Structure 1
Amino acid sequence: MGWLFILIAAMAEIVGVVGLRFYSQKKTLRNLLIYIGGFGTSFAFLYASFNYLQLSIAYVVWVGIGTLGAVLVNMIFFGESKNFARIASIFAIIIGVAGLKAFA
């Protein structure tokens, strides 16, 4: 159950990042609700995951998935740079998170 909560929290964080981007461009109530709702949902599910997983593992996986998702969404949908260094960094995050989970 904890891993499901982390996955939901990370997806909600990505929604929050998209909402933040929209809100920074156009300050509407809709964009504000996406921004605040995404991050609020994310924190709620992250907190719930602590009942099942070690805080250090849950937090690192949440940050890793959220960071990857935010970077990929911005690269795919908002035209951010897709250079080699960014792609290599994405793989480094994946390897780091997997390593922390594997050796925990």
Structure 2
Amino acid sequence: MAWIILIAAGLSEVVMVTFMKLSDGYKKMFPSLISFAAGALSFYLLSLSLLDIPVSTGYGIWTGIGSAGAVLIGMLFFKEEKNPVRIFFISLIIISIIGLKTVS
């Protein structure tokens, strides 16, 4: 169950940064509120998952999901550059997440 909670925490982080972008520097109320709520949820879920998962593994996976997810959302929805080098490095983050999960 801790792993599911950790994945949910990482996805909440992706929601947080997506709505942070949509908030226009926290000038728009609705996206700002979603960003704050998703951030709080992300930290709470991370704290729950760390009750059973080592902090080094949990934090690494949480930040990896957030980083990879934010880059993918940026490329898919915010017209950020899609090139082989970016995709290669995102692949490395995803491979690292899988590696951390398998050794824990």
TM-score, length of structure 1 as denominator length: 0.92
Residue 62 (structure 2) aligns with: 62
- Mapped pair 1:102 → 2:89: no
Residue 16 (structure 1) aligns with: 16
Once residues 26 and 98 of structure 1 are traced to their aligned partners in structure 2, the CA distance between those partners, rounded to angstroms, is 34
Which amino acid in 1 is paired with 2:41?
A: T
Cα displacement string for residues 3-62 of structure 1 (whole angstroms, at most 9, x for unaligned residues): 111111011101101111011267121011011111111000000101111111111111
Contact 2:20 2:26 (8 Å CA) reproduced = no
Per-residue deviation, 1:97: 2.1
Residue 45 (structure 1) aligns with: 45
Alignment gaps of 5+ in structure 2: none
Residue 77 (structure 1) aligns with: 77
Compared CA separation, residues 26 and 56, structure 1 to 2 (3 A): closer
Residues paired across the two proteins, number: 104
Once residues 7 and 102 of structure 2 are traced to their aligned partners in structure 1, the CA distance between those partners, rounded to angstroms, is 17
Cα displacement string for residues 58-94 of structure 1 (whole angstroms, at most 9, x for unaligned residues): 1111111111111111100110000111000011111
CA RMSD, aligned part only? Answer: 1.4
Alignment gaps of 5+ in structure 1: none
Q: Which runs of 4+ in 1 moved over 3 A?
A: none
